Amino acid sequence: MLLTNLNAATMRNGYGLVADAAILIEHGKITWMGPRGVAPHHHHSINCGGRLVTPGLIDCHTHLVYGGNRANEFEMRLDGVSYTDIAKAGGGIFSTVRATRAQSDAELVSASLKRLDSLLAEGVTTVEIKSGYGLDVRNEIKMLRIARELGKLRPVDVVTSYLGAHALPQEFQHDRDAYLDLVCNEAIPTIAAQKLADAVDAFCEKIAFTVTETARVFEAAKAHGLPVKLHAEQLSNLGGAKMAAGFNALSVDHIEYLDREGVEAIARSGTVAVLLPGAFYYLREKQAPPVAELRRHNVPVAVSTDLNPGSSPIHSLLAAMNMACMLFGLRPEEALAGVTANAARALGLGDRGVIAPGMKADLVLWDTARPGDLSYPLGFNPLSAVIRNGTLVKGKLA
């Protein structure tokens, strides 16, 4: 089909706006895009009424498969107890681990679908989902299988990351090395062999794993051909991002405390900086990520919800874009690039995130004129239609 009369934000070089554009879609891919006046003729042409079109949105960092509820911790934090203290007392991630282990597949699937549907309602066509609330091999595999299953139940591509090094399980509290043995020698080989994960992630932080421990996990990932990404410099500057750059990490995420040396390292490795303003907001952090330094070094910046039950229960990628602007000073153009072109890069996906010939035909039509309108309001969804792999999956085209 040929879509015409669109205001296209192609996301090639900033917005890459093409006014009065046409997009030709054949066999699930974009085969031509440009001004309507010079578009190829096609028997199935649809006038889209001047709506804005963007690439399908990509949420490149979520923990949306989990059991339980942590609203009690929200109240504790409001009373002045810190995220770190809650974690040290066996709450936080551990609380979700207990609840996730206790739930059946069916319970996890139905709870996760509700969260996923919130993202899809705003035009997400690719979502990354991490494990990390099972920790033992059986429950990590359970989480990864469920994440893959969600991609069959809904019109969305699910990309998975194994996050066994999310927290030291309580049953290993006195034997860190034994847990890392399990991650590196049992979990990663099994998960790689069964193709359950597309990448390996870790949490490098005082309440989680050291730089040396994380490097060990990355060595195992590399040995099994899996790319890596890292939760780094969220609460303190341990130098995890620099180490991750040495493994050509796809992305380093959070990075509030990343210093100039760290920015230079990820600039050299081509690693994407993923900003997670939801966690910054919920934890009432004070130090924002080094956005000016990232710009100076031309580091690609992505934005994501970090959807999780503890530090970032936000179920809206549009809200994350707004928060990235309000809290971190991103421009709306950077926020949109952060959930399209740069989010694709953070997942190592070269076939999406921009509107161009050869790309997957994942597109969102919006009832709004200008792309900046997507980052401006909060709690307003101007979505009009979603096309995935060239097929209409939500709304109307004409």
Q: Minimum distance between the CB of residue 208 and ligand NIG, rounded to whole angstroms?
A: 7
Q: Minimum distance between the CB of residue 84 and ligand NIG, rounded to whole angstroms?
A: 11
Closest to 145 (Cα-Cα) out of 129, 157, 165: 129
Residue number, 48 or 275, with CB nearest to ligand NIG: 275
Residue number, 114 or 296, with CB nearest to ligand NIG: 114
Q: How far apart are CA 259 and CA 257, in angstroms?
A: 6
Does position 140 interact with Fe ion (CB under 5 A)? The reply is no
Residue number, 140 or 306, with CB nearest to Fe ion: 306
Q: How far apart are CA 346 and CA 249, in angstroms?
A: 9
- Closest residue to Fe ion, judged by C-beta, is 306
Residue number, 47 or 69, with CB nearest to Fe ion: 69
Does position 54 interact with ligand NIG (CB under 6 A)? The reply is no
Q: Which of ligand NIG, Fe ion, none does residue 96 bind to, with CB < 5 to 8 Å depending on kind? A: ligand NIG
Note whether 235 and 257 are within 8 A (CB).
yes
Does position 59 interact with Fe ion (CB under 5 A)? The reply is no
Does position 213 interact with Fe ion (CB under 5 A)? The reply is no
State CA 76 to chain mean position distance.
27
Residue number, 213 or 306, with CB nearest to Fe ion: 306
User: Where would I find the H helices in the chain?
Assistant: 71-78, 83-88, 93-102, 105-120, 137-153, 176-181, 188-193, 211-223, 240-246, 260-269, 277-282, 291-296, 317-328, 332-338, 341-346
Residue number, 281 or 376, with CB nearest to ligand NIG: 281
Residue number, 230 or 294, with CB nearest to ligand NIG: 230
Does position 306 interact with Fe ion (CB under 5 A)? The reply is yes
Interacting residue with ligand NIG among 136, 140, 306, 334 (CB under 6 A): 306
Interacting residue with ligand NIG among 4, 62, 96, 160 (CB under 6 A): 96
Interacting residue with ligand NIG among 67, 91, 92, 338 (CB under 6 A): 92
Return the bridge partners of 33, or none: 23
**What values do phi and psi take at 360, rounded to 5?**
-55, 135
Q: How far apart are CA 243 and CA 295, in angstroms?
A: 21
Distances (CA, A) of 377 to 120, 214, 271, 318, 381: 18, 39, 30, 9, 9
Interacting residue with ligand NIG among 179, 203, 247, 366 (CB under 6 A): 203
Q: Is 322 helix (H, G, I), strand (E, B) or coil?
A: helix
Interacting stretch for ligand NIG, rule CB under 6 A, among 52-60, 89-97, 116-124, 149-157? 89-97
Distances (CA, A) of 201 to 64, 164, 186, 268, 347: 15, 8, 16, 20, 12
Q: Which residues bind ligand NIG (CB under 6 A)?
A: 63, 92-93, 96, 203, 231, 234, 279, 306, 308-312
Q: Which residues bind Fe ion (CB under 5 A)?
A: 306
